[in-house]
Structure 1
Amino acid sequence: MLEGKRLIITGIVNDQSIAFACAKRAQELGAEIVATARPQDRELCEEAVKQLPSEPEVIDLDVTDLSHFDRLIEHLRAKWGQVDGALHAVAFAPRETLAGDFLDVRPERVNLAFNTSSFSYMSLGRVLRELCPPEGGSLVGLDFDAAVTWPIYNWMGVCKAALESINRYLAFHLGERLIRSNLIAAGPLETRAGKGIPGFEILTEAWAERAPLPWDPKDPYPVADAACFLFSDFSRAITGEILHVDAGFNFVAAGRKRAAQGAAQTGTS
């Protein structure tokens, strides 16, 4: 499905990450990849990618430094000439923006979360614009549904809402270059980022109660499979979308137990 595609995969830090699963699936489907890592995470990334079907090159990329994106463009122009797609799997929020008082947070801490988790998506889109072939390409980002408020997500939820808006604007502005931009709103997964969210078990417990399909928080491969679909030509007319890969949680208003209790109390079925 991805034969001949050349992809940038950001965010690999271990073999449990969504980015690692996406890289593995993409290679299995015929893609050639490069991985990017923050300089301080480079060793972790290099160790993780050894477990992929084919060990890719790892390139330094600090997504808060625009000069790193410029260097990435020049490196990949020399290496490949063109790039068909990129995965944005990068997010960070200081702990106080998640677990602290929403109304009592320093703006520079929010700015760090925004620059890392949201604005960097545009920067990766710029890389793709510079390197995509005439037939276009595909930018894919990882989201956590920002249409609602999450009690333990605070300013990262705001950053995800910004990411969703940036996705739509990128889809609009990159469309003339035949570049698609889409997000995947995944259910909670026990990645390094997920485990860093205070009270993360609140999310997994909610999914166990409410999602109509089984959801395994240890399995990132349903998300990876969806990402590969979005990288493929099968998604050639899809852009500006948010694809929910969450076992259906997003459209259910109440859990099965709660609904059953309500029906028992009212005598309805």
Structure 2
Amino acid sequence: MGILDGKRILVAGVTLDSSIGFATAKVAQEQGATVLISNFGRALSITKRIAKRLPVEPPVLELDVTNAEHLAALPDAVREHVDGLDGVVHSIAYGNPETILGGKFLEGPWEDVAQAVHVSAYSLKSLATTCAPLMPRGSSVVGMTFDATVAWPGYDWMGVAKAALESTSRYLARDLGAQGIRCNLVSAGPLKTLAAKAIPGFEKFEEPWLERAPLGWDPTDLEPTGKTIVALLSDFFPSTTGEIIHVDGGYHAMGA
């Protein structure tokens, strides 16, 4: 028996097996869920190969969360495999590292900032509202953030996009609550993912964690984050919504 027995879960944004999305899909399957994963464009072929490394090879859907046609086609694509969804994971973010990261906050052009906000924040709303008609009461939407309450070295406009994501999640919690759908975020510490490699000076994130996280921190271990997401997808958080759960070894609670 697993905590997701009988659940149908869509994990949007799985590329490599070193991604949070992949770790979540793996734990979800181990806990009894039927899992669908998605990606788009050139990355889609990579995702289809990576899917074979999961305990059960899941269906791979083509989904660009900024593409209105893809979103409109998503419900039918889901119904080809399952008759509804009990959970949706938004593991999606993008910011151009050449223009809006790495100390380029004051120079970042609006076009690239707008893209980061669209992909990283607004798409949570797009994905949640597209999937909501497929989801019964008690369902769960979970997204990924990186603590947006402070300014981080080199994170720049992606930090702003994450702040928008966190606010978006709270408003979704408000507006989807009447349908019995929860919306929460997981704030993980720095992990060695594909997204992290795109952040100039990522090592500046890691060093303080290694020194100050009271539980310690392993930036290569994605399983704790995957387990937390799966817990939020389960029935064990029936009255939790609009929340941000930290999976960072306790770093966020420590002072200087």
Structure 2 counterpart of 1:92, which letter? Y
Structure 1 counterpart of 2:118, which letter? N
Q: Counterparts of 1:46 and 1:66 in 2: how far apart (Å)?
A: 23
Structure 1 counterpart of 2:78, which letter? L
Structure 1 counterpart of 2:195, which letter? A
Aligned to 2:223: 221
Segment of structure 1 superposing worse, 60-69 or 141-150: 60-69
Note the alpha carbon deviations across 1:201-227, whole angstroms, 9 max, x for none. Answer: 001101011111111000000000000
Identity of aligned residues (%): 45
Note the alpha carbon deviations across 1:13-48, whole angstroms, 9 max, x for none. Answer: 111111100000000000001111022211110111
CA contact 1:85–1:128 (8 Å) conserved in 2:
no
Q: Which has the larger radius of gyration?
A: 1
Q: CA deviation at 1:136?
A: 3.0
CA contact 1:83–1:131 (8 Å) conserved in 2:
yes
**Which of 140, 143, 153 is the equivalent residue of 2:142?**
140
Q: CA deviation at 1:78?
A: 4.4
Note the alpha carbon deviations across 1:116-171, whole angstroms, 9 max, x for none. Answer: 111110011112311002x3310000100001111210000000000000000000
Q: Aligned Cα RMSD in Å?
A: 1.0
**Which of 89, 92, 103 is the equivalent residue of 2:106?**
103
Q: Counterpart of 2:53 in 1: which secondary structure? A: coil
Q: Counterpart of 1:184 in 2: which secondary structure? A: strand
Alignment of 1:113 onto 2:150? no
Q: Counterparts of 1:128 and 1:68 in 2: how far apart (Å)?
A: 12
Aligned to 2:190: 188
Structure 1: segments with no counterpart, 5+ residues: 255-269
Aligned to 1:238: 240
**Which of 104, 125, 130 is the equivalent residue of 1:127?**
130
Q: Counterpart of 1:39 in 2: which secondary structure? A: coil
Q: CA deviation at 1:51?
A: 0.5
Structure 2 counterpart of 1:108, which letter? E
Aligned to 2:156: 154
CA contact 2:187–2:248 (8 Å) conserved in 1:
yes
Q: Counterparts of 2:185 and 2:142 in 1: how far apart (Å)?
A: 6
Q: Counterparts of 2:219 and 2:158 in 1: how far apart (Å)?
A: 20
Q: CA deviation at 1:100?
A: 4.4
Structure 1 counterpart of 2:132, which letter? R
CA contact 1:10–1:37 (8 Å) conserved in 2:
yes
1:1-269 mapped onto 2 (5 Å cutoff): 1-95=3-97, 96-133=99-136, 135-254=137-256
Q: How many residue pairs align between the two structures? A: 253
Q: Counterparts of 1:26 and 1:148 in 2: how far apart (Å)?
A: 31
Which structure dedicates a bigger proportion of its chain to helix? 1
Alignment TM-score, normalising by the size of structure 1: 0.92
CA contact 2:100–2:107 (8 Å) conserved in 1:
no
CA contact 2:145–2:162 (8 Å) conserved in 1:
yes
Note the alpha carbon deviations across 1:183-218, whole angstroms, 9 max, x for none. Answer: 000000000001111000001101011111111000
